[in-house]
């Protein structure tokens, strides 16, 4: 099993294209075609329930079975994807008068998936984070929103908050602090 997974990871490191797989049941067979006469770049051609590997002139067909846990996503991303565009919005002055304040990170990207992470100058932040699913926009781009709920005192004290949105190997990160905002 571990050998199969390592083989998949090795092969996917040179795959071009974008594929998102959320598998139920949690077993999936990939067929990866690698053209031996080219640069060795492969592509996931299909998923099959039965493996049938073959060798053709100049082309290797490699069959791999991978077992995923429920809800696991396999994302194969093209390195030519553009980095997401981000807007990071501060909490409203009205919200700062309450016991909670919300920062909003708005991302626009060319694909329908992304990883979002928040940090403060104290390190990674996971509590109080809500991130929406990506939604396709009329211009065919995708947008998503991520919200971080904090205590107003954390904002008022001048703590720096950062939102990082990653698509494949490309990412954009923006930071904001109270001093960046006009009263």
Domain ranges of the chain: 2-76, 85-178
Q: 125, 85, 129, 138: which is closest to 107 by C-alpha?
A: 85
- Report the CATH architecture of 85-178: Sandwich (2.60)
Residue 29 · residue 48 · CB < 8 Å:
yes
Local confidence band at 13 (pLDDT 50, 70, 90 cut-offs): very low
The burial of 79, by beta-carbon neighbours within 10 Å (0-12 exposed, 13-18 middle, 19 or more buried), is given as exposed
Q: 159, 155, 129, 154: which is closest to 144 by C-alpha?
A: 129
Residue linked to tokens 């809800």: 71
Q: What is the pLDDT of residues 52-71, one digit of tens each?
A: 444 444 444 444 445 556 65
CA distances from 118 to 39, 153, 177 (A): 38, 18, 13
Q: What pLDDT is recorded for position 67?
A: 55
Q: Which residues of 27-43 are buried (b: 16+ CB within 10 A; e: fewer)?
A: ebebbbbbeeeeeeebe
Q: What is the pLDDT of residues 102-152, one digit of tens each?
A: 999 999 998 888 899 999 998 999 999 999 999 999 999 999 999 999 999
Give the 3-state secondary structure of residue 105. strand
């Amino acid at each position: 099993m571990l050998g199969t997974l390592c083989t998949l990871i090795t092969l996917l490191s040179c795959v071009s294209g974008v594929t998102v797989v959320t598998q139920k049941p949690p077993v999936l067979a990939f067929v990866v075609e690698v053209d031996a006469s080219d640069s060795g770049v492969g592509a996931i051609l299909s998923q099959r329930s039965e493996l049938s590997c073959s060798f053709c002139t100049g082309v290797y067909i490699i069959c791999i079975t991978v077992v995923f846990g429920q809800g696991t996503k396999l994302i194969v991303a093209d390195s030519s994807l553009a980095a997401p565009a981000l807007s990071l919005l501060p909490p409203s002055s009205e919200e700062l008068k309450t016991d909670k304040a919300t920062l909003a990170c708005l991302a626009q990207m060319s694909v329908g998936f992304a990883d979002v992470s928040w940090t403060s100058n104290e390190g990674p932040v996971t509590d109080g984070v809500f991130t929406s699913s990506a939604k396709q926009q009329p211009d065919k781009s995708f947008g998503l929103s991520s919200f971080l709920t904090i205590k107003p005192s954390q904002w008022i004290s001048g703590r720096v908050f950062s939102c990082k949105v990653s698509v494949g190997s490309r990412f954009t990160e923006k930071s904001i602090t109270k001093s960046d905002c006009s009263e």
